[in-house]
A and B are shown apart, each in its own frame.
Chain A
């Protein structure tokens, strides 16, 4: 059951009709206890049963000892957004036990480690003890591994009670440990013992269970956005990545390293076609990335808010010197160090206005894990085609959580290396008596031709700089030269908007109410849309996938009397950008924004829109 229609309060042990494949489980553990493995096992096993699932890790900025939560939502209808309350809680951490109890819906279930000697204050939940200590003591496991393997007990107990077969759990273990027999077997022995204990000792008194489904997960995989972005970039011909560790972007660069040997080793020579460098800080990460991009490598870096702030100055240079490069901004909660392990869409205006002087940064905003893969390669195409930095706006929720998503699709076009000239190209120009200047607008699209270091033609070289320069790259302080070059750079981007990913419309476009959304806020909006529809309120949803905005965005604003801009930040940053670009429609744009570190829920989106609609009517 979702939190939209809670069960009536009933006494523990009273059976109602079964609730199948439509509920939410939250597992409460201590961070650093190895619970990620156990949680991923449950998620993977459910997914393999054909049940749409999503998993969200709510974790502290800490290595060991603080409370951490993992929420698995099963949704037979395919909704992936966060829910506000839990049907089932698995409590392994005494420190947060009291709080967990409050989050269980009436009629819900509590599994708890029986060494937690605290009063269960709720009479409207069904409580099952789990003899974690005893089962681990009896298991054939090295003493130093006991704490890590303790979490397998709840996998076995919950699996047995919900109806996940041991075969499915074994297959999930096999996936997680990549076939390493010893690790699989020691974990599985605990799961099996726990399941057997449960079958013999616990009587099922709750309505929740899982059943194999067909049709809902066909053609889908389960992955996180950071891994997918890295894979996308490697399929996009990435050649250089400079990066510095920062939560929640770290796993993106680490995934590059993980997949380099399988994907980017030259089959003939066994040598690499891509280089990944961990830098000393973000100032250097972006410097390296821009150096590589300038010299003709498909280059990127990955970071989050604080790192992005440090990269501002170099990005400004890359904008003005017209250097292609890609920055993945896996957003976390700011300002300042903020909440490093929580999610937000808080960097939109920062990136839009990045740096001093007049700039315009191209942003791509993936809305799913599948799109993280697609934008992984596409961002490199856009950067080289437009000769400009491209910032991909992901976030922690998308980047670090496991999502059910459509299979990765092979790029539908060859690499776009943009307008690049090698020796024979310059020879041809010289033969035709044509001029070559690094910043000459030859084609009238504002995009000049570039050469890169290593080109041996005596006329190929130029001196790149962030200082004023003319069409030949020569230093210039001439007023008209400055203005001409800067205007041409603006033109090159405005003329290329059609090259950027277009917005996606859901609905027939004729509703009174429009909703604009971007990125990971989409699942909550799409679920809210269905809930509103069930109440007779029709809406059209437009998901923005790139900035600067396509013309369809203005059309959408024109065609809808009221437009709600739903986003995960305090100030309504997407709405601010829409307002600046569409001042004529400013008065019909409504902010539906908040930020508390957690992903949006459909309930909050729906209620926010309903509240405003009531006021409006």
Chain B
């Protein structure tokens, strides 16, 4: 008799799911594409947060970035909409069940050009969802045209020299009164994961501008959208940790006066450890200054730039019933015969 081969137990999280329950289909993007790294961190963040995939809905527009929602969370519903018009699609869908977490993935072409209007308006409404802009400064799927976030003076093979100043996703978000503005870098997975967790916990629009190099059409060392530049010039605003609700914050890890905390609506906390300077992300003026300084110095600043955790979210203003709208039965949706009789009497 031989003893059975011991099977190594699959590691599961608090809701009994393994990492593979959060995965998606195999990526069809280029090897080394920054977008793949972002998809992995979404998987990691949700696994660690013990979120059930069925409680997440994914949205995207059109472009390389917008293909990526199929590369994570196969067990979540998703809708790949039209170019630049993911936000409106997400707003309508999230109304059906406001307990769902929305994750939208867009790109710089999708959000900073055709979708600028919807980008601005979903921010203005503070629709509760994570809005990731996978920002590489180039149109990849149509093979290498400048996007609106490409820096002035950039040279691309078939396009020549870019003559225009770039759109800054974070600055645009801030001006539109976003309640959560962060920037990260696909080459900094640890920070990205923590920011993703914070964004998912935020009740409101969470704009996450992720510099995500395009290895095929635009990975020039001197460009802000390249791995080399990011690795050499990334200036994190803080060392950032996301602490879930009900978990004691080990504040003693930090020297007194070197960290600050922001409590989110669901009780979780973001602990920000001071680095070079003490950036207060709840101060909109400071957030604006930080972006402007980074622009002048040609630096890639990353981290939580601005947050206002207390602003009411879009759905708070509509006084909707507590249960998901899409589960209401007919008796709750059709007014009575008497109500119609009364209307007929009024119109007589």
A: residues with CB less than 8 A from B are: 48, 175, 220-223, 231, 234-240, 242, 262-264, 266, 269-275, 277, 279-281, 283-299, 313-314, 317, 321, 407-408, 410-411, 414-415, 417, 451-458, 460-467, 475
Q: Are B75 and A287 in contact (CB under 8 A)?
A: no
Question: Across the interface, which residues of A come within 8 angstroms of B320, CB to CB?
Answer: 271-273, 275
Q: A291-B88, A453-B96 are in contact. Are A415 and B74 (CB under 8 A)?
A: no
Q: Are B80 and A465 in contact (CB under 8 A)?
A: yes
Cα distance A455–B96 in the bound complex, in angstroms: 11
- Cβ contact of B326, chosen from A48, A317, A454, cutoff 8 A: A454
User: What's the nearest-Cβ distance from chain B to residue A49, in Å?
Assistant: 12
Cα distance A414–B334 in the bound complex, in angstroms: 9
Q: List 27 A-B contacts (CB under 8 A).
A: A175-B346, A221-B347, A222-B347, A222-B348, A236-B334, A239-B333, A240-B325, A273-B320, A273-B332, A280-B118, A283-B88, A284-B88, A287-B88, A287-B92, A288-B95, A291-B91, A295-B92, A295-B96, A297-B95, A313-B82, A454-B324, A456-B55, A458-B75, A460-B54, A462-B77, A463-B78, A467-B80
Cα distance A408–B337 in the bound complex, in angstroms: 11
Cα distance A263–B330 in the bound complex, in angstroms: 14
Q: Does B132 contact A (CB under 8 A)?
A: no
In the complex, per-residue mask of B88-103: 1 if CB is within 8 Å of any chain A CB, else 0: 1111111111011000
Which residues in window 5-43 of B have CB below 8 A to A?
none
Q: Are A290 and B92 in contact (CB under 8 A)?
A: yes
Q: A298-B333, A465-B80 are in contact. Are A408 and B95 (CB under 8 A)?
A: no
Q: Are A464 and B117 in contact (CB under 8 A)?
A: no
- Cβ contact of A277, chosen from B74, B91, B93, cutoff 8 A: B91
Known A274-B325, A293-B92; 18 more pairs at CB < 8 Å: A220-B348, A221-B348, A239-B96, A240-B95, A264-B335, A275-B320, A284-B87, A291-B89, A291-B94, A294-B92, A295-B326, A296-B96, A321-B79, A415-B334, A452-B326, A460-B77, A461-B76, A462-B77
Q: Are B79 and A463 in contact (CB under 8 A)?
A: yes
Q: Are B335 and A263 in contact (CB under 8 A)?
A: yes
Cα distance A222–B343 in the bound complex, in angstroms: 11
Q: Are A466 and B88 in contact (CB under 8 A)?
A: no
Q: Are B348 and A454 in contact (CB under 8 A)?
A: no
Question: Across the interface, which residues of B come within 8 angstroms of A223, CB to CB?
Answer: 347
Cα distance A297–B327 in the bound complex, in angstroms: 9
Question: Across the interface, which residues of B come within 8 angstroms of A48, CB to CB?
Answer: 348
User: What's the nearest-Cβ distance from chain B to residue A359, in Å?
Assistant: 15
Cα distance A274–B340 in the bound complex, in angstroms: 18
Q: Are A287 and B118 in contact (CB under 8 A)?
A: yes
Question: Across the interface, which residues of A come within 8 angstroms of B78, CB to CB?
Answer: 461-464
Residue of B nearest to A416 (CB): B330
Cα distance A347–B318 in the bound complex, in angstroms: 34
Question: Across the interface, which residues of A come within 8 angstroms of B95, CB to CB?
Answer: 239-240, 275, 277, 288, 291-292, 295, 297
Q: Does B319 contact A (CB under 8 A)?
A: yes
Cα distance A26–B74 in the bound complex, in angstroms: 65
User: What's the nearest-Cβ distance from chain A to residue B309, in Å?
Assistant: 24
Q: Does B156 contact A (CB under 8 A)?
A: no
Question: Across the interface, which residues of A come within 8 angstroms of B54, CB to CB?
Answer: 455-458, 460-461
Residue of B78, B91, B94 ringed by the most chain A CB atoms within 10 A: B91
Q: Are A235 and B82 in contact (CB under 8 A)?
A: no
User: What's the nearest-Cβ distance from chain B to residue A400, in Å?
Assistant: 16
User: What's the nearest-Cβ distance from chain A to residue B29, in Å?
Assistant: 13
Q: A280-B118, A408-B344, A414-B330 are in contact. Are A292 and B85 (CB under 8 A)?
A: no
Cα distance A465–B322 in the bound complex, in angstroms: 30
Residue of A nearest to B78 (CB): A463
Q: Does B121 contact A (CB under 8 A)?
A: yes
Q: Are B330 and A317 in contact (CB under 8 A)?
A: no
Q: Top 9 A-B pairs ranked by shortest CB distance?
A: A291-B92, A287-B88, A237-B333, A295-B96, A296-B326, A292-B92, A221-B347, A454-B97, A288-B92
Question: Across the interface, which residues of B come within 8 angstroms of A281, CB to CB?
Answer: 117
Q: Are A295 and B332 in contact (CB under 8 A)?
A: no
Q: Are A453 and B77 in contact (CB under 8 A)?
A: yes
Residue of B80, B87, B318 ringed by the most chain A CB atoms within 10 A: B80
User: What's the nearest-Cβ distance from chain A to residue B320, in Å?
Assistant: 5
Q: Are B121 and A272 in contact (CB under 8 A)?
A: no
Q: Are B70 and A463 in contact (CB under 8 A)?
A: yes
Q: Are A410 and B325 in contact (CB under 8 A)?
A: no
User: What's the nearest-Cβ distance from chain A to residue B87, in Å?
Assistant: 7
Question: Across the interface, which residues of A come within 8 angstroms of B214, CB to CB?
Answer: none
Which residues in window 97-150 of B have CB below 8 A to A?
97, 99-100, 117-118, 121
Cα distance A456–B69 in the bound complex, in angstroms: 19
Residue of B nearest to A236 (CB): B334
Residue of B nearest to A469 (CB): B80
User: What's the nearest-Cβ distance from chain B to residue A6, in Å?
Assistant: 34
Which residues in window 285-333 of B have CB below 8 A to A?
318-322, 324-328, 330, 332-333
User: What's the nearest-Cβ distance from chain A to residue B95, in Å?
Assistant: 5
User: What's the nearest-Cβ distance from chain B to residue A295, in Å?
Assistant: 3
Question: Across the interface, which residues of B come within 8 angstroms of A264, CB to CB?
Answer: 335
Q: Does B52 contact A (CB under 8 A)?
A: yes
User: What's the nearest-Cβ distance from chain B to residue A594, in Å?
Assistant: 32
Question: Across the interface, which residues of B come within 8 angstroms of A410, CB to CB?
Answer: 337, 340
Q: Are A275 and B335 in contact (CB under 8 A)?
A: no
